[in-house]
């Protein structure tokens, strides 16, 4: 077994090797479609001189065999069936990249919510690398004074995360989004005793933040906490009814 694995590893291409892109032509598409085997779609079997076709067509939309092959060819080629495929690479420009990034919505990644005059950012940053990525954004785009609702797993680099994040905030509410794996809220408070309080329950921690005098609130430190915060605001919006619930929207 070990000799077989060693031989396999030697046959694998090294990461440094350059792999040429596949050249897709009308002929290669034709061969690929023709060779495609779709079990239960006009599947042909021969038994004792008999020819048997099996097909799972279950509604009026299921196409005849030839049309089915032509439609597959059309989808693969990007052009009408029976015509040479128009394989044009997508034209990616700096402007299209800019528009794509601007339109991207990633839940729990600096997700912004406005509620009762407060601006709330939810971020699932749960390690030193993720926190380092959002620190510049907080400095530049989150107005001071700021309040942090924070919870983190005890197996993370708590010291590195808190030393980067805590100095940006005037007040901190420490919570425990996923006990017993979470770092104890009391332990987090001890890292910033002059401005931190403990509230182990994430929902109560968020409610306490919303009733505070702070207009800039960041909820961060754990994907579990980010999920709890998103669910909290969804549940709140549902409880307030559809007309008021529309206030819960992500803001750019």
Continuous segment of H or E residues that includes residue 128: helix 128-141
For 214-245, what is each residue's pLDDT tens digit? Answer: 999 999 999 999 999 999 999 988 886 543 33
CA distance 111 to 230: 9
CA distance 214 to 152: 22
Domains of the chain and any CATH numbers: 111-245 (3.90.190.20)
For 121-175, what is each residue's pLDDT tens digit? Answer: 999 998 999 999 999 999 999 999 999 999 999 999 999 999 999 999 999 999 9
Q: Is 65 helix (H, G, I), strand (E, B) or coil?
A: helix
Q: What is the pLDDT of residue 25?
A: 63
């Amino acid at each position: 077994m070990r000799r077989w694995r060693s031989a396999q590893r030697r046959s694998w291409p090294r990461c440094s090797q350059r792999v040429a892109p596949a050249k897709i032509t009308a002929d290669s598409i034709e061969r690929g479609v023709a060779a495609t085997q779709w079990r239960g779609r006009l599947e042909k079997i021969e038994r004792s001189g008999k020819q048997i076709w099996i097909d799972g067509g279950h509604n009026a939309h299921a196409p005849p065999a030839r049309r089915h092959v032509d439609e597959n060819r059309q989808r693969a080629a990007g052009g009408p069936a029976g015509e040479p495929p128009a394989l044009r690479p997508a034209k990616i420009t700096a402007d299209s990249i800019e528009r794509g990034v601007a339109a991207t919505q990633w839940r729990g990644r600096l997700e912004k919510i406005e509620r009762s005059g407060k601006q709330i950012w939810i971020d699932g940053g749960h390690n030193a690398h993720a926190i380092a990525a959002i620190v510049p954004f907080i400095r530049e785009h989150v107005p001071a004074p700021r309040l942090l609702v924070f919870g983190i797993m005890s197996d993370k680099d708590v010291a590195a995360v808190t030393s980067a994040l805590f100095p940006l905030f005037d007040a901190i509410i420490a919570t425990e989004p996923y006990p017993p794996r979470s770092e104890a809220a009391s332990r987090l408070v001890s890292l910033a005793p002059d401005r931190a309080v403990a509230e182990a329950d994430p929902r109560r921690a968020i409610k306490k933040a919303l009733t505070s005098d702070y207009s800039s609130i960041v909820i961060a430190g754990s994907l579990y906490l980010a999920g709890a915060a998103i669910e909290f605001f969804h549940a709140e919006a549902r409880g307030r009814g559809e007309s008021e619930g529309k206030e819960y929207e992500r803001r750019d």
